[in-house]
Copies of this chain bind each other. A is one copy, B any other.
């Protein structure tokens, strides 16, 4: 039976409905939203974590520095998203709150996996309760905690996987292929940044320029998130 027939029959009209072959079509459509979103790359390097994303600035009058595409969850955890960005903000603010609350309650930094699980629980709930819709966004969450460095990808169903390097959003299939070829565990953040920018350049083709790139890292030494300066990005672009 073909999907188009499922559409005719209306199996894709509600998240609370399975199709006859056992699929949740509304959730699959939400995943497609992610592939319409801006490209975002996460890389675990030898000396730290790296998130690089396309800001997609199409209007020259937007203030580029104010476009936040990489969010600080806590000093040691950061996240970026592809898909519906207002959905992402809801999830990020929830995570920030949870991290803060953890510091208040236990006086220690929260571990990365707890943040990821909490985000995914809310996402799962929104695939099961009528009257809501799934979150149309995937998140990359990168953090350093007692268990070391970790990079997670969460999808609209609430599923998560830990990656050494991954990409979400526009052109994810092409970039992923390149990432598989060129990624090495032994990369430094410097090398990782070069690679990520090279891949974004390919994905975005001639619309690419330094202003569109947002990048941040958490070095193993400091365990503290820092933004990558535009100067550095421009230097790497040459």
Contact = CB atoms under 8 A, between A and B. Distances in A.
Interface residues of A, number: 74
A132 B8 CA distance: 23
Nearest to A183: B61
Tally of this chain's copies? 7
Q: Which of A7, A14, A86, A125 has the most CB of B within 10 A?
A: A86
A10 to B, nearest CB: 7
Contacts of A176: 59
Interface stretch (A30-38, A195-203, A207-215): A30-38
Given A61-B166, A131-B130, A18 B136 contact: yes
Q: Which of A22, A166, A183 has the most CB of B within 10 A?
A: A22
A78 B206 CA distance: 39
Interface string A1-35: 00100011111111111111111111001111111
7 contacts: A7-B9, A10-B13, A15-B133, A17-B26, A18-B134, A87-B124, A93-B121
Given A13-B17, A30-B18, A66-B150, A86 B159 contact: yes
A23 B15 contact: no
A84 interface: yes
B35 A30 contact: no
Contact of A86 (B11, B67, B123, B136): B123
Contact of A29 (B19, B93, B124): B19
